[in-house]
Amino acid sequence: MSNYFCMGCGRGYSDLKIKSNWFLVRHGETDWNRKERIQGHADTHLNETGIAQAEATADFLRDTHIDLIVSSDLARAKETAEIIARATGAEVIFDEALREMDFGDLEGMFIPEVNEKYGDFLGRPYKELGGEVFEEVEERAMGALHKYRKDHEHKNIVIVSHGALMGLVIKNIRKIDHAKSAGLNIGNAEAIKLEIGEPCDNCGGDLYEGGLGGLG
């Protein structure tokens, strides 16, 4: 029976030497999430539900020996990271490279309104509306992760960020297309565990998923 699965190719391993555990955590709920408003670089705050969600995730992470928390510098992510820090005692650093996608002029619009006006999610002209394209977000997100891996590979790390950015990170690791990454639907305060181990015999990747998967 396999206990670990390579995120690059899906190959299973029953035994694997793990160097460290990393957790990708989306921020807790905000009022904009609840109202289905487009929320990119807006500096929105957690609502009461979001605080409770972050506290539940923090409690889950309390005994996982977290060494460092790296968070987006937007308020909703910072507040989530600070709640996790209080539970784990880990240091927190903030990095604007982990901010959500910039949606340009769509910022603050309601999702049904955007769907009606611009159509399919992947077809929305973010760049033409003053925002970013998926490739730009993926590049800055993966650049940040590679930087922290280089400096902290043997530490247990929590990365606190946002739904679209986290979807693009998982898309990059799993080598899937944008359509599938957009459909990941990562929940507020959900934690996705990545385990760094020995290189996979099949594809050479060293990121694995074990029995945890995600925490919703």
Q: Is 100 a catalytic residue?
A: yes
35 conformational bin, left if phi > 0, alpha if psi -120 to 50, beta if neither: alpha
Token duo for residue 99: 């901010």
Q: Are 159 and 145 in contact (CB under 8 A)?
A: yes
Q: Is 135 a catalytic residue?
A: no
What amino acid is encoded at 84 in this protein? Answer: I
The phi, psi pair for 57, rounded to 5°, reads: -65, -40
- Please give the C-alpha separations between residue 55 and each of 26, 48, 80, in angstroms, as whole numbers: 13, 11, 8
Strand blocks (E) in the chain = 4-6, 12-13, 18-26, 68-71, 91-94, 157-161, 191-197, 207-209, 214-215
Q: Which of 29, 79, 100, 132 is catalytic?
A: 100
Tokens 């009461």 sit at which residue? 48
Q: Which of 27, 29, 41, 79 is catalytic?
A: 27
- Please give the C-alpha separations between residue 18 and each of 182, 196, 205, in angstroms, as whole numbers: 29, 6, 13
Enumerate the active-site residues: 27, 100
